Structure 1
Amino acid sequence: MLQYEGFVLAYESGEDAVLSVDATVEVLAQHQRLKLAFDSPYIKGLPITAITLSRHPNGDFSEETIRPTYENYYTLMFKELHRSLSGDAEVKTTVLDSREEIGMLSDILKLLAEGFEKR
């Protein structure tokens, strides 16, 4: 879990011997949650699912599931890469963005290592 100003980000990922994959990213705010579920990369065409859970000012609770496409994530990534390289779209992330992400992953791995050392 990563604490940011105004929200917490929870990342969870796993894989077992029967190739069942559970990969999610969840953003937790005071009155709303957003969960992105990345289905198995082993089955072509499974969508990324976005689930929003909200508590409204009047006390009502709502849940919405969104599947924007049935193309799998990897196909969408390569299509976007092609668009960027061919000049039809701007590159969304920079080398500096990558550096920041590597730093964040390094911090996560350090925390995990500390947790295992305490056992």
Structure 2
Amino acid sequence: MFPTRASLATLLMAAALAGCSTGGASNDGGHAAPSAPASNDGRCEASGADFSVGKQGSAQLLEQARTSSGSQTARILKPSDVVTLEYRSDRLNLNVDDKGMVTRVNCG
């Protein structure tokens, strides 16, 4: 009877851990980008994208900011966007106002 319980416990643990894997899927709004410079291993440095504050948010600005920050991914967040609370050290966020002007730059 003990081996059955141990097997069941192992199976349940494996199932629980499988639910924690990412599987390579991205939740970045479809803004995947090429790899970042090797100097920061793809981690976001928001200060590199500070130049975008006060500018109109666009795909071109997003890519320039992503490259300057060393991030692997980036997204534009509008005031009404629903976002999850997970922190991703490789993602740059450009927060825009109702008119689409960048008001804040942060990583996560």
TM-score by length of 1: 0.23
Larger Rg, first or second structure (1 or 2): 2
Name whichever structure is richer in helix by fraction: 2
The normalised TM-score by structure 2 is 0.25
Bigger fraction of residues in strand: 1
